[in-house]
Amino acid sequence: MVKKIGDKKVGKINPTDVAKEIERAHSVSEVAPVKATKGVQSVSGLSGLSKRGATRVMSLAEREELLRLVSEEAERMFPKGTLPQDKREIIEGAVKMALDSALVEEKD
């Protein structure tokens, strides 16, 4: 049976109860263990990357190794007959000097 509107009239509205007190908050007694996370499925595209790519900081300890690598790479890049010896010396020397000047002894 469907009740018709107006079947039962509202007689009065009871006043709402006013909160008399607030219960004290209980201290946290325990925290449930953290559930294992699932593997990240995807990463959205990077945004806001406006800085130059990461750089690798050098140390004075690797000086000899770095200078050796310069000679090795210069030999690979300019094998015999591709560049006059004196030009190769200038290019290789310049790279070594620039690198060497950047290798600072880190001490307080």
Partner 1 sequence: MVTGENTEIIASTPLSKEEVEQLVVENQGWAESIARSVARAWSMDWRGDGLDGAAMEALLFCARRFDPARGIPFRGYARRRIHEASTEEARKSKSWKTGFQYKGSGSNQDKARELSVKLLDIFPELREGSLPFGEDDDVRGSIRTMLVGASISAFKDGIDISSPEDAMDFKKVVGIVGALEPIHQMLIWKTYWEGYSLRTVAEDWGTDELNVIREHKVIIDYLSKCFAASKKALRPKIRPGLRPVAFKLKKDLDMGPFAQILVHTKLSK
In the complex, which residues of this chain contact partner 1 (CB under 8 A)?
Answer: 49-58, 60, 66, 69-70, 73-74, 76-79, 82-84, 86-87, 89-108
Q: C-beta of 25: minimal distance to partner 1 in Å?
A: 37
The answer to whether 70 touches 99, Cβ cutoff 8 Å, is yes
Tokens in use for 92? 């290789």
Q: Which C-beta is closer to partner 1: that of 9 or that of 76?
A: 76
Distance CA 105, CA 17 (A): 76
Residues 6+ apart with CB under 8 A from 105: 60
Residues 6+ apart with CB under 8 A from 54: none
Q: C-beta of 107: minimal distance to partner 1 in Å?
A: 6
Q: Which C-beta is closer to partner 1: that of 29 or that of 47?
A: 47
Q: Which C-beta is closer to partner 1: that of 20 or that of 51?
A: 51
